[in-house]
Structures are given as structure tokens and as C-alpha cells.
Amino acid sequence: MFKNIIAVLIFLNAVSVGSFAQKVLQDRLEQHVEVLASDSLEGRGLGTEGHYKAFQYILSQMKAIGLEPFEGNSYVHEFFYKAQLVHVNGKNIVGIIPGFDPQLKDEVIVIGAHYDHVGFEILPSGTKRIFPGADDNASGVAGMLEIARMIIEGEERPKRTLVFIAFDAEESGLIGADRFVKADKPFDNSAIKAMFSLDMIGMLGKAKGLELKGWETLADAKDLMARAQAREEMTIKKMDASIEMRTDTWPFGKIGIPAIHVFTGLISPYHKPEDTADLLDYEGMAKVTRFVTALTLEVANTAELLPIPSFSLEKVIGGKAFQFGAQIGLGNSHNRHVQESFRANGVFAWEAGLYGNWNMTRNLQLVVSSLIDSNGSTTPYFEEDRLRRYSLTIPALIRLTTGPSEDGVGRAFVGAGAYFRHHLSQRLPEFAGIDFVGPAWEFPDQEWGINLQFGFQVEKLTLTFDWRNALTQPFSLESRPDLEVYNRNFRVGLASAFGK
């Protein structure tokens, strides 16, 4: 009986200590956000006094927590860039927890969060409208600072070196992260084995789970996740092997470094004055912070940390080696008779097949499709008869995209390229006028042409509008060697990418 009482007391004490630690963490996170998203910081816009106050606050916190300087005695990675006609001085704030393992300490894990926001605007009345940026991204900075504190104050030391970075100029185009990747620094990019970007982590309760885009670029992602979940349970809504292009993961991911976006979703008032500190879920933020601390320690202390085979410095393209999917299209096909300036009536056309997408850069894609399609036209001279063809069509296009939209959901693009078509079947019905036009019809098996396209991509779905103009003729007649006829096609297509 006495032993049972002791066991219950120990359990209750553990629960009490855990609850107290949770409350302390919540309070610290809330304090960070209230400072960074306060009106006195005026939205942390570049070049403003509020931005400099945010810089000073984060720097003082890194020092107080016990992070070591990034280089020499400095915590600052300074860079310059041109914004329109103004040269801007940007400052990343960097602190380090050195790894203790003799073999692994030269490998690096980056934990980052951008601290800039969009600032304020002057209304016609002369008053300032401030964009506080509580969720975007005071929440991420708060989480990053407390992850560093928990690891420094905890019993488990990291084998790999941990580099904590408050990135600047993310809202101006990921400039701080990009300049850090390109900078001369105490370690090469090849030493960076993984990167976490905490960007908008303040809405866990409403999101009902956490997103970890890019997690599956790690070869042992499944085992690492299982071990982290054993430490701190977390509902994961989404994780995949693609790199988010709208946050600081992109400059790392595009050169083959596994980069994970830690995110609770676009639930808060994004880039609006209503993104205030009082709206955030601090209990949820504490859960995210503890869970990412567990992930960080698992990644830092695993024996070997490698990317998946298709994701490396040599192979990664656009945050993802390749993307595949299925597509369908409906439209119209007709022949254009050049000499007579005659356009035959069109016939209903369709297509279906597969595509592969190679993101060459942030704004350029190579897309190749393999399609079975129907095409054709009414015949010359006799509109009641139709030439119907079933073909294997292979378009190859270069797309110029806008990059992700501001909210990260979609983008528009235009494309141009060529297509090859091999006709599997060609059918021309018997008709009364065959003797008039002559018996010697020749139907080539192949066709070449140009393909123009524009469209919109929203997450996995892509809507396309295609124009295909043949450069070779669909048929020839002995009686009309001068005849020039070219097939024209229009399609409205819908494509869906495979995978998560």
C-alpha cells in the first residue's frame, strides 16, 4: 500500500513539473511574440527603426540563452542588396551550439526563422497602418529561440553542430537565406545536412496538425519521425519530399540540402493588420517547439544523415528531382487550307496521358507529355465527311512561371515548344466526291508542329490552354501538288501530380 502511494505521488509530481514547464515555455513564447509584434516595432519593415529594435532583441536573446557567436565574436552575418533604387543593409543573426562528437561535429543542422515583416503603410489621413506579423513570423522566431534554450538547458547534447539563424529580408525574396547560402562562412554548404525553417507556427489548434514539407527528402525520415514521436507526440497533417519555395527553405533545398518547412497553415490574417499577438495559440506553439526540439535532436544525433537518392547537390532541380502526373484534355481540331484561305469545320478532339515536369529553376520548367489523342478535321471540299485520326502525341515545352503566388498556393505560366505526333489510325470515310478530287490520297504517319500554352497551377492541379499548329501536312493529292493544308488544335486540359 505504501509503495502504491509513493508511486502515485511520484506520478503526480512528474505531471506537476511537466505542466509547470509547459506553462513556462508558453509564457516565454508569448513574451517573444508580444515584443516582436508590438506596435512599437511597426511591422519590422526593412530599414525601419522597428526592424532594428527586432534585430537588437533577437541578438540579446541569443546571447542570454547561451548560443555561441557565428564567426569570431560576431553573431551577425551582414549583407547588402538593392531594393528598387535603394541599397539595403541586411543582417542575419546567427548563433551556434557546437557539436560534441569528434566525427560528426563538422556536420551542421540549420534551424532558421525570418524576423522581418512587411512594415506599415501611411493612410491618406496621415496615420500609420501597422502590419504586426505575429504569426508571420514572430511565432517562428520565438520557436527557434526556445528550441535553442531547451537544447542548451537539456541533458542531451547534439553530436552535430546546430546553427540557429534569424533570417532577414525573407519578405523581399528570401534574400537573407540566399545570401547566407552563398556567403563565405566557417563551413561549406556540403556540411549542412538538414535545414528547418519555422515560418508561421502559431495556429496549431485551428490547423489540427503540423505540416513538414520537405521532411521526406531525408533518407531515414520514417525512422527519425518515429523516434521523435516517441519523445513528443504530434499530429502531422502533411509531409513530403518537395521543397517549399515561398520560405527560407528554398535557397537550401534548391542546391540539394534537405530543407523542412515547419508550418501550421495559412489560417492567421496573412500580411494583414489583424495578424496580432493575441490571436496565436501559445499552447500549440509550445507543443510545436517541443516537437521540433525532438526532431532536431534526432537529426543531430543519428549515426548517418543522408538525403534520399534522388535529392542531392548534383540531382535536385527545383526542390524536387522530377514530378510526374496524369492529364486529360478536350477541344477542337481542324485543317487550315492556305491557298484558299479556307478553314475547314472542326471536329471534337480529346487527349489523355502522362506527363513529367522538371523544375529547372524557380521560374523555368521543362514539361514533356505522352498522350493518346484524337484529332482531325472535316475533309476539303465536302464538309459532311471527316478525317479522324488517333495518335500518339508527345509535346515538349519550356514554361516560364511567375513563381509561387504571394500566399504560396498557385502560380501562372506561359509555355512554348514543339510536338511530335505518330498516327496510330487514320480514317477517311467513302464519299461521293472521291473521284472529283482524285484517287491518289497520301496520309503521312507522322506530324511535327509547334505548341503554345498558358495556364495556372494550384497545388497539385494544373489547368492548361494549348494551341498546336502543324508544320507538316496531314495529306497530299497527286492532282493538287500545290495544296497546302495544316492541322490546328486547341485543347483545355487538366493535370494532376502524383504523390503527396
pLDDT at 82: 78
The predicted pLDDT at position 427 comes to 74
Cβ atoms 418, 394 nearer than 8 A: no
What is the bridge-based pairing of β-strands 192-198 and 259-263? parallel
Q: Which of 236, 253, 357 is nearest to 308 (CA)?
A: 253
Gap between the Cα atoms of 450 and 257, Å rounded: 37
The radius of gyration of the chain's CA atoms, rounded to the nearest angstrom, is 30
pLDDT by 10s per residue, the chain, length 500: 556 656 555 555 544 556 778 899 999 999 999 999 999 999 999 989 999 999 999 999 999 999 999 999 999 999 998 776 677 899 999 999 999 999 999 999 999 999 999 999 999 998 999 999 999 999 999 999 999 999 999 999 999 999 999 999 999 989 999 999 999 999 999 999 999 999 999 999 999 999 999 999 999 999 999 999 999 999 999 999 888 988 999 999 988 899 999 999 999 999 999 999 999 999 999 999 999 999 999 999 999 999 987 775 444 444 455 678 999 999 999 888 776 655 677 889 999 999 998 877 667 889 999 999 999 887 655 555 677 889 999 999 999 988 654 444 568 999 999 999 999 988 765 543 444 444 556 788 899 999 999 999 887 889 999 999 999 988 776 666 677 888 899 999 999 988 65
Show the domains of the chain with their CATH numbers: 2-301 (3.40.630.10), 323-497 (2.40.160.20)
Closest CA to 28 of 164, 141, 152, 156: 141
Q: What is the pLDDT of residue 406?
A: 40
- Phi and psi at 441, nearest 5°, equal -90, 135
Sign of CA dihedral 349, 352, 355, 361: positive
Indicate the pTM of the whole model: 0.69
